[in-house]
Amino acid sequence: MNTTAIIFDLDGVIVDTAKYHYLAWKKLANTLGFEFTKEQNELFKGVSRKRCLEILLDIGKVEASQEQFDLWMVEKNEDYLAYIKDMDASEILPDVQKTLDYLKGKKVPLALGSASKNAKPILEKVDLLPYFKVIVDGTNVTKAKPDPEVFLIAAQKLNAKPENCIVFEDAVAGIEAAKAAGMTSIGIGDSKTLTNADYVFKDFTEISKEFLEGLMQ
Protein backbone atom coordinates (compact mmCIF):
# COMPACT_ATOMS: atom_id res chain seq x y z
CA MET A 1 0.00 0.00 0.00
CA ASN A 2 1.14 3.51 -0.78
CA THR A 3 1.90 5.32 2.48
CA THR A 4 3.31 8.49 0.97
CA ALA A 5 1.66 11.81 1.75
CA ILE A 6 2.47 15.07 0.03
CA ILE A 7 2.47 18.56 1.52
CA PHE A 8 2.41 21.60 -0.73
CA ASP A 9 3.44 25.09 0.21
CA LEU A 10 1.13 27.68 -1.41
CA ASP A 11 2.82 30.99 -2.25
CA GLY A 12 5.39 30.49 -5.00
CA VAL A 13 4.62 26.78 -5.38
CA ILE A 14 0.94 26.56 -6.33
CA VAL A 15 0.33 30.18 -7.26
CA ASP A 16 2.65 33.03 -8.11
CA THR A 17 1.61 35.17 -5.15
CA ALA A 18 5.24 35.69 -4.07
CA LYS A 19 5.36 38.61 -6.54
CA TYR A 20 2.33 40.27 -4.90
CA HIS A 21 3.79 39.86 -1.41
CA TYR A 22 6.96 41.49 -2.79
CA LEU A 23 5.07 44.41 -4.36
CA ALA A 24 3.14 45.06 -1.14
CA TRP A 25 6.30 45.05 1.01
CA LYS A 26 8.13 47.22 -1.55
CA LYS A 27 5.29 49.75 -1.46
CA LEU A 28 5.54 49.98 2.33
CA ALA A 29 9.34 50.28 2.20
CA ASN A 30 9.13 53.04 -0.41
CA THR A 31 6.52 54.90 1.67
CA LEU A 32 8.94 54.72 4.59
CA GLY A 33 11.69 56.09 2.35
CA PHE A 34 13.91 53.14 1.49
CA GLU A 35 14.35 50.50 -1.22
CA PHE A 36 13.46 46.82 -0.95
CA THR A 37 15.06 44.56 -3.55
CA LYS A 38 14.08 41.19 -5.03
CA GLU A 39 17.20 39.70 -3.45
CA GLN A 40 16.10 40.90 -0.01
CA ASN A 41 12.65 39.48 -0.75
CA GLU A 42 14.12 35.94 -0.82
CA LEU A 43 14.40 36.22 2.98
CA PHE A 44 10.65 36.91 3.16
CA LYS A 45 9.56 33.75 1.37
CA GLY A 46 7.89 31.29 3.71
CA VAL A 47 8.24 33.72 6.60
CA SER A 48 5.27 34.97 8.66
CA ARG A 49 3.84 38.45 8.07
CA LYS A 50 5.04 39.63 11.49
CA ARG A 51 8.58 38.38 10.97
CA CYS A 52 8.66 39.92 7.48
CA LEU A 53 7.79 43.33 8.90
CA GLU A 54 10.48 42.97 11.58
CA ILE A 55 13.06 42.21 8.87
CA LEU A 56 11.79 45.06 6.67
CA LEU A 57 12.09 47.59 9.49
CA ASP A 58 15.60 46.29 10.23
CA ILE A 59 16.56 46.79 6.58
CA GLY A 60 15.22 50.37 6.63
CA LYS A 61 16.56 50.99 10.15
CA VAL A 62 13.08 52.14 11.13
CA GLU A 63 11.88 52.04 14.72
CA ALA A 64 8.19 51.62 15.47
CA SER A 65 5.85 51.51 18.43
CA GLN A 66 3.69 48.38 18.79
CA GLU A 67 0.70 50.39 17.59
CA GLN A 68 2.50 51.63 14.47
CA PHE A 69 3.85 48.11 13.79
CA ASP A 70 0.33 46.68 13.89
CA LEU A 71 -0.95 49.40 11.55
CA TRP A 72 1.77 48.62 8.99
CA MET A 73 0.90 44.90 9.19
CA VAL A 74 -2.70 45.78 8.35
CA GLU A 75 -1.64 48.19 5.60
CA LYS A 76 0.62 45.62 3.94
CA ASN A 77 -2.11 43.00 4.04
CA GLU A 78 -4.68 45.39 2.57
CA ASP A 79 -2.32 46.17 -0.32
CA TYR A 80 -1.65 42.45 -0.80
CA LEU A 81 -5.39 41.67 -0.79
CA ALA A 82 -5.94 44.38 -3.41
CA TYR A 83 -3.36 42.68 -5.66
CA ILE A 84 -5.03 39.26 -5.34
CA LYS A 85 -8.63 40.52 -5.45
CA ASP A 86 -9.31 39.34 -8.98
CA MET A 87 -7.11 36.28 -8.88
CA ASP A 88 -8.43 33.21 -10.68
CA ALA A 89 -7.28 29.79 -11.91
CA SER A 90 -5.15 31.42 -14.63
CA GLU A 91 -2.64 32.27 -11.86
CA ILE A 92 -1.98 28.64 -10.97
CA LEU A 93 1.67 27.98 -11.80
CA PRO A 94 2.48 25.78 -14.85
CA ASP A 95 1.66 22.07 -14.52
CA VAL A 96 0.58 22.37 -10.88
CA GLN A 97 -2.99 21.35 -11.67
CA LYS A 98 -1.73 18.47 -13.83
CA THR A 99 0.43 17.26 -10.93
CA LEU A 100 -2.47 17.58 -8.45
CA ASP A 101 -4.75 15.65 -10.83
CA TYR A 102 -2.15 12.93 -11.22
CA LEU A 103 -1.65 12.58 -7.45
CA LYS A 104 -5.39 12.63 -6.84
CA GLY A 105 -5.76 9.83 -9.41
CA LYS A 106 -3.18 7.84 -7.44
CA LYS A 107 -5.12 8.57 -4.22
CA VAL A 108 -2.12 10.20 -2.57
CA PRO A 109 -3.28 12.18 0.50
CA LEU A 110 -2.48 15.86 -0.02
CA ALA A 111 -2.08 18.67 2.49
CA LEU A 112 -1.38 22.37 2.26
CA GLY A 113 1.33 23.64 4.61
CA SER A 114 1.49 27.41 4.31
CA ALA A 115 2.58 30.30 6.53
CA SER A 116 -0.12 32.50 5.03
CA LYS A 117 -3.27 33.57 6.83
CA ASN A 118 -4.76 34.16 3.36
CA ALA A 119 -4.25 30.56 2.18
CA LYS A 120 -7.85 29.30 2.18
CA PRO A 121 -9.39 32.24 0.29
CA ILE A 122 -6.61 31.96 -2.30
CA LEU A 123 -7.26 28.23 -2.82
CA GLU A 124 -10.95 29.07 -3.19
CA LYS A 125 -10.25 31.78 -5.75
CA VAL A 126 -8.20 29.40 -7.92
CA ASP A 127 -10.62 26.47 -7.39
CA LEU A 128 -8.06 24.13 -5.83
CA LEU A 129 -9.55 23.73 -2.35
CA PRO A 130 -11.12 20.29 -3.06
CA TYR A 131 -7.73 18.70 -3.79
CA PHE A 132 -6.54 19.05 -0.19
CA LYS A 133 -7.59 16.69 2.56
CA VAL A 134 -5.89 18.86 5.14
CA ILE A 135 -5.09 22.58 5.26
CA VAL A 136 -2.59 23.94 7.76
CA ASP A 137 -1.91 27.64 7.40
CA GLY A 138 -0.82 30.76 9.25
CA THR A 139 -3.99 30.67 11.34
CA ASN A 140 -3.10 27.25 12.82
CA VAL A 141 0.55 27.58 13.77
CA THR A 142 2.34 29.24 16.64
CA LYS A 143 5.85 28.87 15.25
CA ALA A 144 6.78 30.07 11.76
CA LYS A 145 8.98 28.25 9.23
CA PRO A 146 11.87 27.29 9.52
CA ASP A 147 10.22 25.68 12.55
CA PRO A 148 8.75 22.35 11.39
CA GLU A 149 5.42 22.86 13.21
CA VAL A 150 3.31 23.55 10.09
CA PHE A 151 4.46 20.35 8.37
CA LEU A 152 4.30 18.20 11.51
CA ILE A 153 0.68 19.25 12.11
CA ALA A 154 -0.12 18.45 8.46
CA ALA A 155 1.46 14.99 8.78
CA GLN A 156 -0.40 14.30 11.99
CA LYS A 157 -3.73 15.36 10.46
CA LEU A 158 -3.04 13.16 7.42
CA ASN A 159 -2.14 10.28 9.75
CA ALA A 160 1.23 10.02 8.02
CA LYS A 161 4.68 9.47 9.46
CA PRO A 162 7.01 12.45 8.79
CA GLU A 163 9.51 10.18 7.02
CA ASN A 164 6.77 9.26 4.54
CA CYS A 165 5.95 12.88 3.76
CA ILE A 166 7.23 14.85 0.80
CA VAL A 167 7.19 18.64 0.85
CA PHE A 168 7.14 20.98 -2.15
CA GLU A 169 8.60 24.36 -1.17
CA ASP A 170 9.98 27.48 -2.86
CA ALA A 171 11.46 29.08 0.27
CA VAL A 172 14.76 28.55 2.03
CA ALA A 173 12.88 28.71 5.36
CA GLY A 174 10.41 26.10 4.09
CA ILE A 175 13.13 23.67 3.01
CA GLU A 176 14.69 24.05 6.48
CA ALA A 177 11.29 23.37 8.06
CA ALA A 178 10.80 20.21 5.96
CA LYS A 179 14.31 19.01 6.89
CA ALA A 180 13.70 19.70 10.57
CA ALA A 181 10.45 17.70 10.31
CA GLY A 182 12.39 14.72 8.90
CA MET A 183 10.59 14.90 5.54
CA THR A 184 11.83 14.71 1.95
CA SER A 185 12.09 18.23 0.53
CA ILE A 186 11.60 19.23 -3.08
CA GLY A 187 12.60 22.77 -3.91
CA ILE A 188 10.71 24.68 -6.58
CA GLY A 189 12.90 27.47 -7.90
CA ASP A 190 16.60 28.16 -8.20
CA SER A 191 19.05 25.42 -7.18
CA LYS A 192 21.58 28.10 -6.20
CA THR A 193 19.12 29.43 -3.61
CA LEU A 194 17.54 26.16 -2.44
CA THR A 195 20.85 24.45 -1.74
CA ASN A 196 19.56 22.32 1.15
CA ALA A 197 16.65 20.68 -0.70
CA ASP A 198 16.80 16.97 -1.50
CA TYR A 199 15.76 17.76 -5.08
CA VAL A 200 15.26 21.05 -6.92
CA PHE A 201 13.20 21.77 -10.04
CA LYS A 202 12.69 25.10 -11.75
CA ASP A 203 8.94 24.44 -11.79
CA PHE A 204 6.44 21.60 -12.13
CA THR A 205 6.94 21.37 -15.91
CA GLU A 206 10.30 19.75 -15.09
CA ILE A 207 8.79 17.07 -12.84
CA SER A 208 7.97 13.83 -14.65
CA LYS A 209 5.42 11.16 -13.75
CA GLU A 210 8.34 8.76 -13.38
CA PHE A 211 9.91 11.02 -10.77
CA LEU A 212 6.64 11.28 -8.84
CA GLU A 213 6.14 7.53 -9.03
CA GLY A 214 9.70 6.99 -7.79
CA LEU A 215 8.95 9.13 -4.74
CA MET A 216 5.99 6.98 -3.82
CA GLN A 217 7.81 3.67 -3.71
The whole-angstrom separation of Cα 11 and Cα 189 is 12
The whole-angstrom separation of Cα 188 and Cα 182 is 18
Nearest residue to Mg ion, by Cβ distance, number only: 12
For residue 183, what are the CA distances in angstroms to 47, 101, 113, 164, 175?
Answer: 19, 22, 13, 7, 9
Q: 209: exposed, middle or buried (C-beta count within 10 Å: 0-12, 13-18, 19+)? A: exposed
Report which DSSP code applies to 93: P
Is 11 in the active site?
yes
Nearest approach in angstroms of CB 79 to ligand BG6 is 11
Q: Is 115 annotated as a binding-site member?
A: yes
Binding-residue pattern over the window 161 to 190 for ligand BG6, x denoting contact by CB under 6 A: ----------x-------------------
Is 203 in the active site?
no
**Out of 8, 108, 118, 158, the residue judged to bind ligand BG6 by CB under 6 A:** 118
The whole-angstrom separation of Cα 185 and Cα 201 is 11
Helices (H), 60-198: 66-84, 96-105, 119-125, 149-158, 172-180
Nearer to ligand BG6, 53 or 165 (CB): 53
Stretch that binds Mg ion, among 57-65, 79-87, 138-146, 170-178 (CB under 5 A): 170-178
In the window 36-65, what residues touch Mg ion (CB under 5 A)? none
Catalytic residues: 9, 11
Interacting residues with ligand BG6 (CB under 6 A): 10-11, 21, 44-49, 52, 77, 114-118, 138, 171
Q: Which residues are annotated as a binding site for Mg(2+)?
A: 9, 11, 169-170
Instruction: Return binding residues.
Output: 9-11, 25, 76, 114-118, 145, 169-170
